Structure 1
Amino acid sequence: MKDVYLFSGFLGSGKTSMLTDVIRQLKEKGLKPAVIMNELGKLPFDSQAVEEDVPLKEMLEGCICCSGAEKTEAQIQSLLLDNEFDVLIIETTGAAHPVEALDAVYSPLFAEKLNIKGIVTVADSKLWLNRDVLTPQLRSLFMEQIRHAHLLLANKTDLLTEEEQAKVVYELQGFNPQAFILQTTNGRVPLHLLEGLAATTPIDKSNVVKASVSSMQLGSRLVEFEQGSFTQEQFEDWVRQLPDSVYRMKGFVPIEGVKNPMLFQYAYGMVQWLPEFVKMPAKLVIIGENVGNVQVIGVD
């Protein structure tokens, strides 16, 4: 499996500085990194920081978390087919919401090939202290990026006094108590902290859940179904009783009387079914918080 890291953070927080340093550390360890970089503009300014020997896919003029979701899936498929690499780093734009970005990374077509290690959010420490100057919409996005992080970098601490540094750490820890918080300058993070993350909760062949250490945070779970084990009505009854902590689901669901597993998508209470004319693997990806404890129809 390929380890995958999602780098999140507000505009100008220091994500690209972190990216270049993590690439350096991976290479020093003998690992081959690959990068998907999402930029809102027409020109790939940030991608110039990635060395030529690193496989790179760019997404310009579109956020990874909205219209770019299908493009992201195609880019990952292309990397898996055409490149040899050990670790995939996906750098989102500063405008990306972590839940939406994580959803764009997952596909039941290659979920078994990827091990999502976690969301690493770079937060500008000075901006955190001055967050009240942001518009309500930007402030909400800034806070959501921090709330869903598995590893949180309080960056640019060199611009703060010791008292301000302590205030930032105390407030961030209270806002996201599950995340490990590291005070940094220039986005420098030791590789072992990244390698210790575990955001994916897999299912083994006996359908026993292997809960990860971060199961209370934003993460995912891959479920495999037996062919034609329930009706569409039974499946939707199960969906309706899911906790609010389940944000997204997508995959191919086997339905009694239907030849091929149907394409199923769920987002914040809305359900969509589409017929599939090719037999796809009967797998479902669940994205949310504490997904390891969700009882799954036909599995638990």
Structure 2
Amino acid sequence: MKDVYLLSGFLGSGKTSLLAHLIAQFKAEGLKPAVIMNELGKLAFDSRVVDNDVPLKEMLEGCICCTGSEKMEAQLQTLLEGETFDVLLIETTGAAHPVEAMDAVFSPLFASKLNMKGIVTVADCKRWLERDKMTPQTRMLFLEQIKHAHLIVANKTDLLSDSEVASVTMQIQSLNNAAPIIQTSNSKIPLALITKLEATFHEKGINKTAIGKQLFLSSRLHTFSDAVDQDSFEDWVRSLPDTVYRIKGYVPLKGHKNPYLFQYAYGMVQWLPEFMKMEPQIVLIGDQIDRIEIIGESSYD
């Protein structure tokens, strides 16, 4: 199983610098990293920091978190089948919501192949001080990237006074007190800080994935043993709390030969027919996912 780290952060925060430092440190430890880079434009300027001996897949003119989800799955499949590597680093575009980017990684197709270790968000401390100048939508994204991080890299502290650094660090930590925070310049952090974000798998009737033992954002993989009624399934989805951000996978429906592709986000559901018999599994992503009872389950302890 390959460990996966998702690098998040607003535009210009220092994600690519962090990526370059992590690649060098993994290689120094004798581990071979692979990289997926997502850029909104047509040209892959940032990919120049990736050495030629590092397997690299690029996603241009699209965001992992929206129309690029299927492209991401294709890139992951290509990497897993065609390249040899030990760890995967995914750098999202600065316009990506971390939960949505995480959703693209957590396809049931890769449940037994990829081990999501966590979201590392680079927060631009200088921009934090000027966040009130952003549009409301942009500021919300900036805050969401920090809120959902498993590790926060408070970057560009060299541009601030000591008192500003202390104030920014305290304010960012209050927004997400579950994630460790480290002050940096040029996004330089010790490798051990991210490798400690250990994910564990438990198998008792269902599979649960806890991303970082002390962290709040988690995923859960459920395998269906029987087909379900579509209306009953949708009723169950509508009953879920707001802390469930995403559901994605293949649901076996009564009266249909193959499981249907199902996606849920922001209260909206989507069903698509599947012409191959896919594994009947769904992944739930959100907060306190372990407390959710899956339809048809009497117990999942």
Partner-residue secondary structure (3-state), 1:112: coil
Summarize the alignment of residues 19-98 of structure 1 with structure 2, pairs less than 5 Å apart.
Answer: 19-98=19-98
- Distance across 1 between alignment mates of 2:282 and 2:209: 16
How far residue 210 of structure 1 moved from its aligned partner, in angstroms, is 6.2
TM-score, normalised with respect to structure 2: 0.94
Segments of 5+ residues of structure 2 without an aligned counterpart are: none
The one of 250, 253, 270 aligned to 1:255: 253
**Residue in structure 1 matched with residue 243 of structure 2 by the alignment:** 245
After superposition, residues 81-230 of structure 1 pair within 5 angstroms as: 81-198=81-198, 202-204=201-203, 206-207=205-206, 209=208, 211=210, 213-214=212-213, 217-228=216-227, 230=228
Counterpart amino acid of 2:262?
F
CA deviation vs aligned residue, 1:192-231 (integer Å, no higher than 9, x gap): 1111114x67451533746554575223111111032x32
- Which shifted more, 4-13 or 254-263? 254-263
Quote how far apart the aligned CAs of 1:29 are: 1.0
Question: Residues of 2 paired with 1:223 and 1:176: CA distance?
Answer: 28
Q: Aligned in 2, Cα 1:195/1:151: closer, same or farther, shift over 3 Å?
A: same
Match in the other structure for 2:288: 290
CA distance in 2, matches of 1:41, 1:140: 22
Distance in 1 of aligned mates of 2:265 and 2:211: 23
Rounded Cα–Cα distance in structure 1 between residues aligned with 2:10 and 2:4: 20
Partners of 1:108 and 1:283 within 8 A in 2: yes
1:276 matched to 2:274: yes
Which amino acid is the alignment partner of residue 88 of structure 1? L
Residue by residue over 1:123-181, the C-alpha shift from the partner in whole angstroms, topping out at 9 and shown as x without a partner, is 11111112112222221111111111110010011111111111011101111111110
Cα 1:167–1:21 change in 2 (3 A) is: same
**Which residue is 2:229 aligned to?**
231
Q: Structure 2 counterpart of 1:206, which letter?
A: G
Inter-partner Cα distance in structure 1 for 2:85 and 2:211: 24
The amino acid across from 2:148 in the alignment is H
TM-score by length of structure 1 reads: 0.94
Q: Tell me the distance in 1 between the aligned counterparts of 2:211 and 2:115.
A: 12
SS at match of 1:141: helix
Give identity over the alignment, percent.
Answer: 62
Residue identity opposite 2:178 in structure 1: Q
Instruction: Answer yes or no: is the 8 Å Cα contact 1:202–1:222 preserved in 2.
Output: no
Q: Is the 8 A contact 1:201 1:291 kept in 2?
A: no
**Contact kept in structure 2, 1:226 and 1:254, CA below 8 Å:** no
Gaps of 5+ in 1: none
Distance 1:13 1:210, change over 3 A: closer
